[in-house]
Amino acid sequence: MRKGGGQEADCAVAPSLSRSEGEGWGGVLLDTLRHRARQLRNGSTGAERCLWRHLRARQFEGFRFRRQVPIAGYIADFVCPQAKVIIELDGGQHSEQGEYDAARTNKLELHGYRVLRYWNHDVMQRTDAVLADILHELTKGVVHQATPP
């Protein structure tokens, strides 16, 4: 499920980030990242579209997600600002770029985010398991208060 393997099967949907969220990444670079993020949103992979159907419009346990968001000089696939969680979907090319992915994860973690990585085929074939893992990570450390009668 989380990056590292899985079986194949078929896909069965807070406050927003401020302009300063990508601290230190302004001017031309930020404009370039925003333009690239827009291109990525318009050309989503099948796995990204599948996951987005479950995360969009606060329909995933009330958590708000954004997709293809520039942060710290990178473009994160999905971001939940409220929980400070980034979800990255990886295709086969990522098996060859482990060092790059590790450096990217470290930099995003330095900005206070937890980074979850999933293989594209797991999102497509084990959607429920991926969603359960994401929910578990989103609610880690969250204290639920009982509502008064």
Specify the pTM: 0.69
Domains (range + CATH), the chain: 27-138 (3.40.960.10)
Q: Which residue from 143, 119, 108 is spatially nearest to 17, judged by alpha carbons?
A: 108
pLDDT tens digits along 38-63: 665 666 788 999 999 999 988 899 99
CA 31 to chain centre: 21
Backbone angles phi and psi of 28, in degrees to 5: -60, -40
DSSP-derived letter for residue 97 is: -
pLDDT tens digits along 60-85: 999 999 998 888 888 899 999 999 99
Q: Which residue from 95, 75, 88, 97 is spatially nearest to 130, judged by alpha carbons?
A: 88
